[in-house]
Structure 1
Amino acid sequence: MKQESTISLERCPHCSTAKPNLTRTNGFETSNSSGNFRRLWVCYACRTCGGVVLTTAVINERNQSQAIHDMWPTPTSVDANVPQRAKQYLEQAIASIHAPSGAVMLAASAVDAMLKEKGLKDGNLYGRIKTAATQHLITEEMAAWAHEVRLDANDERHVDEEAELPTTEDAKRATDFALALAQFLFVLPSRVARGRGK
């Protein structure tokens, strides 16, 4: 992807809008202290939320900017090592951050799917989280956070009239936990196995 007047992303990394209109607002060039390693930095603003994405590309000897090699914030994605069902729930949770009730429930479904993938299929999510902690599959702190996500999702599923509706921040917190759990249970073990294989 090149630094054009607009860039094409699947979702805005700030508001999760699909196919966001990200337009170039400004750019500048830098180099190291020797005048080498020239880079072009370009900012793109989302026309939906106003969030800014910063990109950088190396400038070659012919004074041409190459393809974008870094971007901040990086769009959130789910690693390929996450089992398919959990991955789909998690991707849908990320995509629906703007609809917090749905995102919270999808994050809890992703947690449930990951624990089932680890062989914890009996009972309900409460029992699976407890068993995962007892078997040291997750830490006690992770279990406490998982229970928070579970309870938040229960409030939405059972339309608890006493509970406040979740905010975008609540949805991000639930999704962050599900992403962290996916890293802990599937992504890191896969990287360790690959690393040790080399």
Structure 2
Amino acid sequence: MTEQPKKYAELPLLDADGLHRVPNRLYLLLLLLLRPYICWLLTLTLPADQRSMLGWIYPQSADFVRACLICLPVLLVFAALTQRVPYDKKLRRGRAKKFWFFIWRHSKWLLLPVVAVDLYWTISHLPPFVALNAPWLLLAPLFLVLALAWLLSSKKLPLVFAEWPEDKEQADSKNEQASS
């Protein structure tokens, strides 16, 4: 029997700016690492009498502060991700290219220690008998182990972190020089 070649979905490999697409797993990783800030925002949106939700996840306020400090570098990576667009004077987007590109280029090495420290801190601060009393708290360490393995084994992430969009004016001048 002859084997049929695999058929893959027709997904574009590049985004609208000609760069490798940012993997959805990276967005999920950012959500996982920014969970203290997300919980904080969710708590702020609740009515005053229901604001004990943060206490379910972080029983002591010092735990919450430490978790926010651990994931502080992830905010820089998130900000660099939002700046990963070419500078366009008309649209007023894409500022401070050198600074954000420096952060973006080293994002993998910013994320690895954050995931490792978050994993250590999460495991070391699990309450006793967590599997019986609060089994949902075991999901975070599981996802952090998977995230650490993905960060170390991904072949696409170095390509994504190495790219930065060119400015629109520079790209237009290069196209004009190439055509002449």
TM-score in same-fold range (> 0.5): no
**Structure ranking higher in helix proportion:** 2
**TMscore range, shorter length:** under 0.3
TM-score (structure 1 length as normaliser)? 0.26
**Structure ranking higher in strand proportion:** 1
By relative contact order (CA 8 Å, sep 6+), the higher-ranking structure is 2
TM-score (structure 2 length as normaliser)? 0.27
